[in-house]
Amino acid sequence: MNGKSTNRVCVVVPVYAGLEESRRCIESLIASLQLQKTDTRVIVVDDCSPEPALSQYCRKISDSNPSISLLVNEKNLGFVKSVNRGMQEAGCDDVILLNSDTEVANDWIDRLVAAAYREDKIATVTPFSNNATICSYPRFLESNPLPTNETVKSLDTLFAHVNADKTVDLPTGHGFCIFIRRAAIGSIGLFDDKAFPRGYGEENDFCCRAHIAGWKNILACDVFVFHEGSVSFGAEREARVAAAMKTIANRYSWYHGAVNRFIETDPVAGFRQAVSDYRRLKNPRPSILMINHGLGGGTQKHVHELARSVESGFRCYELASTNGKRAEIRSLSHDDGLQEFYEIPRQLDSLLKRLKVLGVIHVHFHHTIGLPLELFDLPSLLGVGYDFTAHDFFTICPQINLVEDRGNYCGEPERTVCNACIKKRPAHGARDIGEWRAYYAQLLAKARHVYCPSHDTATRLQRYFYLPNIVVVPHETGNDGIVYKPEQIESDGHLVICIIGALSKWKGADLVEAAAELVEKSRLPIRFVLIGFAYRQLNDLSQRVLQITGPYQDGDLDTLIAQHKPHAIWFTSQWPETYSYTLSAALRTQCAIIAPDLGAFSERLRDRQLSWVLPWNTTPASFTDFFMALRKCFIENRVQFGNTRLADSGNYLERYAEARQKKQVIPGQIAVQGSNLYSPGADAPVYAMRVSSYILAKRALRDKIIAIYRNEKIRPLLKRIVPIKWVIAADRWLSY
């Protein structure tokens, strides 16, 4: 039978450092005490704080408030012993352990008590928080900022309303705020302050002991408590967590498996999403669906930046699939933790319903690698228009980057060579280059806009497709800041050259290695620094010649460049890059820039001082000769430092607003015949791109079938007698 609380509750708040955080916690706690029906008192434990102002504040607040008692450790005992002291001082009361970097609101204690006594054998109750791993909101397992336009009070009110009286079993509670029944403490004892003297892991150990003794640990889905995180422990956190988890694993072999199963099944997802859905209804905004590969890199960076740039007017969601069957939809806003998976085609209707609930009014294709064929028709199925951004050349060639098997630019040969390449290197299900390009011709032709980040990209696409809807829009907003200026070289000094990024074959890893080997062999005064890593381990070279820093975070790149003090930044790409975010980083410096005459480099470096665009197939020996000449210029102080303002990106907020104003009328089928589908050119492989009357007839038939299937009067009957897999199969055949 259900238990019933007859105890009062004692809130134990251990403090050590962080005056402002502790003040916020204690004052929010005092304010909330007036709203509780539960008889509650507070114990603050000052663990010999090194901050006199914090100790003074604790004394003052306890002297002025009869519901607060203060315990002061004469010497620093550590977090766990301080908590144990507080729990012992609480006597027979139930306990809430509350970190000093939290903030509470409303009748949060009453709701924790109600959850704890919903059953007899509940040991611990943990609330939702912005920063509580498996109890985090809005994003699972992440440290989240407080959502925009929300306060702790407003968010806790939503949780109380939307998830009233709901609980979920947990493999472990979370110590930032944890309710512990006194009966459970009496059954299994206090925290283990010998195994976990300094904090982290003690609550996991307690919950494991409770589980073994037949008790449960639960999440109160109707309570939200804000948690700043890592205020007291700072830089020690990672080491403490690792040591604690090792101890837990040694004691309870099943623990990590239980946590992993919980993460895989995510039984709290529905309760997070219920709150997000309610918040979305309170603040309705139209949504943009970004379709992407979800594999990271520059494409992912642009999608996230684009979402941030339009968040004042639109919510943005990303739909990605890497295996052609399972589609993931994820919010691109930090205020919304939506992350759902759909098996395609089985759950296609469910996905469509979710997208309509989210208010998707426009689709933006960024990449289609791994995308199930059924999802190419999402704009049509949703009745909305779409844009397409070319981040590479996947629409032209399934090898993506226009490179042959050695990793060099292929030169865009005629159709038979392309088909031989597909046969030799099968990629993404391509069978014939003509079929491949004809399929993408349809997708691009029906787009409202085809965005290209550079004129070079647009020109290459127009060799193959007739695109009156093409628009050249750089990825980023303007930036005039100079983050680094190189120094003059002394007569015996080295020329320092940085290469930036993750170097694959087609990004020039082999070229860098060959140049470094020449420098080493000839003992030239040149030093290379690869800020990033290569696709393979490069030949052993002394640190004097080539230093490899390893992976980095985007936000650290400017600092890393300045730290290594380069005179030049070298781009070694062997394919026509469409934009290059690493070039943007280089343009924020006054370094010399050396880049290939492929892709967007030429136009982005035009008119910039101290910049050279060399043939992409320049030999390593020629590069080293060039670098030695550049070194001489630096020695003789004959350099004019370069700095280029980044081009302004397109105003997507206005572009999406325009799509909304037009009520998402889908662009009509572009009437094309024969080779007129493509712009003429001396080397254009017209035969491979020709759209025959047969294909046009299939398209017309497909459009008629779609029109019939959309008819609200006919569709229910068709759904009963025509399996969806037949519809999809017919659509797939008619699309070629």
- Does the N-terminal peptide bond of residue 138 adopt cis geometry, omega within 30 degrees of 0? yes
Residues 320 and 255 in one domain: no
Domain containing 140: what range?
A: 9-272
DSSP letters spanning 101-155: TEE--TTHHHHHHHHHTSSTTEEEEEEEBSB-GGGBSSSTTSB-PPPTT--HHHH
Degrees to nearest 5, angle at CA 310 with 305 and 312: 130
Same domain, 575 and 462: no
First CA to last CA distance, the chain: 64
Q: What share of the chain is helix, strand, coil (3-state, %, to 5)?
A: 40, 20, 40
Give the Cβ contact number of residue 17 at 10 Å.
17
CATH number of the structural domain spanning residue 347:
3.40.50.2000
* CATH number, domain containing residue 41: 3.90.550.10
What CA–CA distance (Å, rounded) separates 94 from 114?
Answer: 13
CB 185 within 8 A of CB 7: no
Looking up tokens 């920063």 gives 131
Closest CA to 394 of 378, 371, 375, 377: 371
What residues does 593 pair with on adjacent strands? 569, 611
Residues 79 and 214 placed together within one structural domain of the fold: yes
Question: Which strands, in side-by-side order, build the sheet including 315-320?
Answer: 339-343, 326-331, 315-320, 287-292, 360-365, 385-389, 450-452, 470-472
* HEC-encoded secondary structure of 646-691: CCCCCCHHHHHHHHHHCCCCCCCCCCCCEHHHCCCCCCCCHHHHCE
Task: Report phi then psi at 378, rounded to 5.
Answer: -55, -45
Are 109 and 193 contained in the same domain? Answer: yes
Among the three residues 616, 635, 654, which one is the final residue of a domain in this structure?
635
d(CA 27, CA 423): 70
Instruction: Answer yes or no: do 244 and 373 share one domain.
Output: no
pLDDT of residue 214: 97
Answer for the pair 310, 316: CB distance below 8 angstroms, yes or no: yes
* Dist. CA 500–CA 557, nearest whole Å: 9
Alpha-carbon gap, residue 727 to 472, rounded angstroms:
37
Domain boundary among 272, 306, 330: 272
Does residue 690 form part of some domain?
no
Tokens, residue 299: 């494409």
60: DSSP letter: H
Structure tokens at 186: 């009496």
**328 and 264 in a common domain:** no
Tokens of 422: 């597909």
CA 328 to centroid of chain Cα atoms: 13
Q: Which two tokens stand for residue 349?
A: 């209707």
Shared domain for 254 and 129, answered yes or no, is yes
The reported pLDDT for the residue numbered 732 is 46
Contact 402/409 with Cβ under 8 angstroms? yes
Is the separation of the CB atoms in 533 and 548 below 8 Å? yes
How does pLDDT run across 138-172, given as a tens digit for each residue?
999 999 999 988 999 999 999 999 999 999 999 99
Contact (Cβ atoms closer than 8 angstroms) between residue 417 and residue 697 = no
Are 556 and 487 spatial neighbours (Cβ–Cβ below 8 Å)? no
**484: closest CA among 564, 597, 430?**
564
- 673 falls within a domain: no
For β-strands 102-103 and 226-227, DSSP reports them as antiparallel
Instruction: Give the CA distances from residue 123 to residues 83, 180, 591, in Å, rounded to whole numbers and listed in that order.
Output: 17, 6, 62
CB atoms within 10 A of CB 381: 18
Measuring CA to CA, how many Å separate 655 from each of 364, 471, 490? 12, 12, 52
Residue where a domain terminates, one of 588, 613, 635: 635
195 belongs to a structural domain: yes
**Would you state the pLDDT for residue 644?**
65
| Total number of domains in the chain | 3
Residue 385's alpha-carbon distances to 253, 382, 659, 707, in angstroms, are 53, 9, 8, 16
Same domain, 291 and 268: no
Question: Where does residue 74 rank: exposed (0-12), middle (13-18), buried (19+ CB within 10 A)?
Answer: exposed
Q: Do the Cβ atoms of 341 and 264 come closer than 8 Å?
A: no
Do the domain assignments include residue 61? yes
Answer yes or no: do 384 and 243 share one domain.
no
- Give me the residues paired with residue 226 across strands: 103
DSSP lists the bridge partners of residue 534 as 503
Residue 445 domain-assigned (yes or no)? yes
pLDDT at residue 684, rounded to an integer? 27
| 169 located within any domain | yes
CB of 520 within 8 A of CB of 542? yes
Positions of the chain with pLDDT under 50: 1, 231-232, 234, 663-696, 699, 732, 735-736
Same domain, 375 and 251: no
| 225 burial via Cβ count (<10 Å: 0-12, 13-18, 19+) | buried
Q: Rounded to an integer, what distance in angstroms lies between the CA atom of residue 736 and that of residue 693?
A: 12
Question: Residues 42, 151: one domain?
Answer: yes
Dig out the tokens for 274 from the structure: 């219920």
Whether residue 651 lies inside any domain: the answer is no
pLDDT score recorded for residue 238? 72
199 vs 80: CA distance, rounded Å: 6
Position 325 scores a pLDDT of 87
Contact present, 646 and 474 (Cβ < 8 Å): yes
Residues 264 and 295 placed together within one structural domain of the fold: no
| Residue 294: predicted pLDDT | 85
Please tell me the distance from the alpha carbon of residue 247 to that of residue 257, in angstroms, as a whole number: 15
Q: Maximum distance among all alpha carbons in the chain?
A: 90
Q: Write the burial class of residue 75 (CB in 10 Å: 0-12 exposed, 13-18 middle, 19+ buried).
A: exposed
Please report whether residue 303 resides in a domain.
Answer: yes
Question: Which SS3 state, helix, strand or coil, does residue 496 take?
Answer: strand
**Cα–Cα nearest to 587, from 599, 574, 571, 564:** 571
